A = this chain, B = another copy of it.
């Protein structure tokens, strides 16, 4: 018996919800290995039938039943999967009925627009937030800080840029970032131009070992990635955060999602949109 399974994420839309659901569950089965296949935009009976044939062929070939995570909404499409040669896990089936009872409403059972353009306002907000993050990425420009929701500060390579971009793309949050310079760290004072925005500051720090590793991967030699330099910078930055009571998070073992979520729950900034 093999521990390897093929997993299909089947969706009438992008497949993002099916992937998210499936991957969360699969992390609970660490001793198994999974080959992941996303099949998005299955919005006709013909396309559904083609996926069923593909799953059945995989089952026959491999001699094991594939796992199928579905976020198909239309009853007509889901019905095509009843005879499939795999474990069919139906997300909408499981949760729509209890929600319908609770809300005393029939759900629309229309093709989901979970990741769609419900309103162009949300799209525009995410795009505007992304452009904001790009414009305010290196501290060279502070004119926009008035409109920032949050300003991330920290030394180089602590994850400021990807976190700002993720906050923008996922949540429509306007996040700027300001890299602390050696001068800032030596003086121990908050850069003067950040003073008016103290309430918006959020610090990122990281362990010296992890920072050294990250910096080494980028520039192989020199002071920038030396143990002393990394330690000096991080000590200075954390000292600054404490002295000015700036909340901060250690990103060493955090993913981008975890850093973003920590910042949002620490500050109470509203999640304006969700992908």
A102 interfacial by beta-carbon distance below 8 Å: yes
Pick the contact of A105: B25, B29, B274 (CB < 8 A). Answer: B29
How many residues of A are counted as interface, with CB atoms below 8 angstroms from the partner's CB atoms?
Answer: 83
**Given that A255-B116, A256-B126 are contacting pairs, would A96 and B25 also be in contact in the complex, using a CB cutoff of 8 Å?**
yes
Q: In the complex, which residues of chain B have a beta carbon less than 8 angstroms from the beta carbon of A20?
A: 16-17, 20-21, 114, 274-275
For the complex, give the distance between the alpha carbons of A123 and B255 in Å: 7
Q: Are B169 and A103 in contact (CB under 8 A)?
A: no
Complex copy number for this chain: 2
Q: Are B271 and A127 in contact (CB under 8 A)?
A: no
**Given that A19-B274, A166-B169, A258-B115 are contacting pairs, would A108 and B28 also be in contact in the complex, using a CB cutoff of 8 Å?**
yes
Closest to A40 in B: B261
**Given that A28-B112, A99-B87 are contacting pairs, would A265 and B21 also be in contact in the complex, using a CB cutoff of 8 Å?**
no
Q: In the complex, which residues of chain B have a beta carbon less than 8 angstroms from the beta carbon of A166?
A: 169
Q: Are B27 and A118 in contact (CB under 8 A)?
A: yes
A188 interfacial by beta-carbon distance below 8 Å: no
Pick the contact of A27: B95, B105, B114 (CB < 8 A). Answer: B114
A53 interfacial by beta-carbon distance below 8 Å: no
For the complex, give the distance between the alpha carbons of A249 and B64 in Å: 36
Distance in Å: Cβ of A221 to nearest Cβ of chain B: 19
Contact indicator per residue, chain A 53-96, by CB within 8 Å of chain B (1) or not (0): 00000000000010100010100000000000001010110111
Q: Are B28 and A102 in contact (CB under 8 A)?
A: no
Q: Are B169 and A165 in contact (CB under 8 A)?
A: yes
Pick the contact of A275: B13, B108, B255 (CB < 8 A). Answer: B255
A154 interfacial by beta-carbon distance below 8 Å: no
**Given that A255-B275, A274-B20 are contacting pairs, would A29 and B99 also be in contact in the complex, using a CB cutoff of 8 Å?**
yes
Distance in Å: Cβ of A20 to nearest Cβ of chain B: 5
Q: In the complex, which residues of chain B have a beta carbon less than 8 angstroms from the beta carbon of A258?
A: 13-14, 115-117
A44 interfacial by beta-carbon distance below 8 Å: no
Q: Are B40 and A95 in contact (CB under 8 A)?
A: no
A-B contacts, 10 of them at CB < 8 A, read A14-B255, A14-B261, A20-B274, A21-B21, A25-B96, A28-B107, A29-B105, A36-B271, A87-B102, A169-B256
